[in-house]
Structure 1
Amino acid sequence: MMPATKLPERFDDTWIDALPQAILLTRDGVVTRVNAAAVRLWGVPQERAEGRPVLEVVRRHTLETLLERGGEMELEVTGRTLRCTATHDDVVSALIVEDVTDYRRREAELREAAAVLSHEFRTPVTALRGVLEALEYDMPADLAQNFVRQGLMEVERLARLVEDLAVGFRPTRARTLPLAETFARAERLLGHELTAQGATLTFGQDYLVRADPDKLLQVLLNLIENALKYGPAGQPVEVTTAVRGTWVEVAVLDHGAPIGDTETLFQAHTRGRTATGQGSGMGLYIVRSIVQGWGGQTWVERQGDCNAFCFTLPGVAGLGREA
């Protein structure tokens, strides 16, 4: 028969110092143990914390009360979000504090991503609706075929947006293309809206640029749609282009009233003071996010009697048309 193993008088709890959460243990209302993470959080070493009342260590009545009652709560402390959990019985209590700042930040980013996706999906879905409504009517075969091709293009665009769910929202399919290619796509997609508002749309000189075609189209559609929505009805919308060193500057001009605080327009969930109707306030935020993704800049300025919403994108050496 093997001899019984003698247990140590005090259980070895050094493992508690390896935990990332701050742990505070109490007995009869006084602190018995704080782990290494708790020492970093409250700045009170074990030798000073042991035997002291809880409040002298945590210095927050909310945490003292949580220990007395048990349960869970979140605290905002110096820009950090702390999730605090307390368990207790008549004698022994434990307080566990976990820094969930990064987790909460990721949650906010996911909500932002969902809002961005919702906005980006709206344009191809609207275009598809228009195509299907048009195909309900009898029309020449060649015209119907054009509508079918346009619908297929938008389905492909939707498929690429679905792929973006996994790879993020930065441009990932950049290629060299003439601006005129994107101008033509934008004009085709906005044709019905232009006719309905009695507005005209003109484009500046063509240049070769380096960008993701779908992302560039999204930027243009957002800016042109804003110009049609907030500019005077029936007024022309002009898209100008210019070379700025190795960059190409594109500006969408409308004849709307001067805008006051232009910088805040590019923030998420922000709309101009004169904006009416429904809107997510995400359009210009998406524009800036996409443009910054390829290293460009966005801004708003007054040009004559027009508001100019400008952005830059990489030009291609030579700036000539593709062969």
Structure 2
Amino acid sequence: MTNTNPYKFLQGGGEMGKLIRSIDWSQTAIGDVATWPAELKIATGIMLSTPFPMYIAWGKEYIQLYNDGYRPILGATKHPQAMGISTRETFAEIWHIIESMFDGVMDGQAVGFPNFMLPLDRNGYVEECFFDFSYSPISDEDGNIGGVLVTVIEITEKVKTLADLQQAKQDLETAKGETEGQRDQLKRFFMEAPAAICVTNGPEFVFELINPLYQQFFPERQILGKPVLDALPEIRGPVYDILKGVYNDDKTFEGNELLIPLARYDGGPMEDRYFNFIYQPRHNSIGKVDGILVFAFEVTDMVNAKKELEKEKDKFKLAILAAELGTFDMDMTKGTMEWDDRCRELFGIDHEEIVTYEKDFLQGLHPDDKERVIKVIERVFNRSESNGFYDVEYRTIGVADKKVRWLRAKGQAYFDNEDKPYRFIGSVLEVTDKKQEELRKNDFITMVSHELKTPLSALSGYVQMLHLQAAKNMDTFAGSILGKVGQQVKKMTGIINGFLNISQIEAGKIPLNKRKFAFADLVNEIIEAYTIIAPDHSITNHIYEPIIIHADYDRLEQVLLNLLNNAVKYSPNGKKIDITSKVTGEMLRVSVKDEGLGIEPSDVKKLFDRFFRVDNHHTKAIPGFGIGLYLCSEIIRLHEGRIWVESEIGSGSTFIFELPIMDSTEYLPK
């Protein structure tokens, strides 16, 4: 089986992009990629498209995603297992330090620190690591926060270099009063120091000494022995004023990421370059300033990286605004529910007060959808049934404008260690135009189907009359032909009824005639009837316990007949079909297993879509319109159940559905 990536935002990203695409996110607290909120998808796409170190910690569990630029920060022991697990686990040794920062960001408090030290165990031992970083909230257009965006540049080596520089500075101060021999030693130290160092002399700041690293700032420019304005005339202005201030006021100046336009070569183009530096007054034997010591480190690449990250953040914010989604956030711990302006608009709310679940959400639902949506949410809050995933369509009636709108809502509930929901976050999108178009199509299908049924009924009657006449005349040939015509009329009637069922289900016009019955009775009746239809197949019924359900007998009969019919059609060489019924929790689980062709993995997700048919050389000769499984899924959905398929090419398929059950003790044998 070949993995494919249907999500454009997961494209690229190098090695970490491949790793992210290989993970089954449905098994993590983030949930399946298809359910990710827009802000997470956009943040992930931005992260994978940039070479700069970025890292996402999503949700209350702070589930981690990161890019190739961030990968080296994890060292040899934390990668690749860090991908898709909680920050608490990956950075357990420093969680007591950063936990409050993460929690603060989730409350809307962005943080950032330069030169921040963290003791990390990332290579089999604890080492002091230094970072310039910021923790920023990942929020939707209304500021609802779903996770933390970490932009970080490791500066451990730079900090060590600066520490060496500071040590060099201290050594320099100690060496001031030493002999000429000590001066020579100090000069050698300067020349070998791991930082860029120069010494200027007098009020004109003549370059008295420069080390190789300082010279690298200006390749091929002759600056030694020249006054600073002759050697570097482009610094005239703020930088030169700083030098004069240090010299005249005898005060050290420390610059951080200071912009200094400089040319690298004589006559070369001016470049915006950034430096961290220290201007330290140098004193003569009587304590008077006679020059300046300069310790410098170019940070142009680091500053440009930060600017690029800021641009990416701005793109992220614009993308969120363009999505036109309404967002909601229920905090069960605090007992609050927050809606953005778009969500309020979609529910037709005109007040400025705090919204509530009872007053605003439930009251805003269309009466015909309210009970169904409540049950969907109840399942969302049951982790074992839904894993917190929320995806539903419903109508709202605006309180102020009385306008009916169709909405598609998607979200995720988060659970504590006791599987109790503490947060429910999601978004809503208006799909009114789409639903109205579907309803118009359904009305058209219904009208055409009804119009076709009338002449088809007359044709069926005429065929029956001719069949009787042929029997009376003992015309066996005509009787045989008319029998085949009658079979085709029945097939056409079934097709039309299928279309009618589709339009009626989607219009919400099919009521369920529910009653209590023993499920085994239904299965046995179907098998008995189907044995006549498919005598070449062996149908086995496995019932593990007596089960009573409250359901529509005829509709479930339609589901089972459809699944059996498919098992026969797509099992030309397979003779065995197994039907299994058993209780799983509070649900009845029914499976229909065949030994047929099997289904390609790429087709499994679309199998229950309306009008979808598997298209390959094995199935072209098998008749059908692709509506049977769609009808089955809708009937099961109306029963508050679910249906799915498990299949392997060449080994057959197993169709499974679940339904709520009654108390099975009511049907125990006396």
TM-score between the two structures when normalised by the length of structure 1 = 0.49
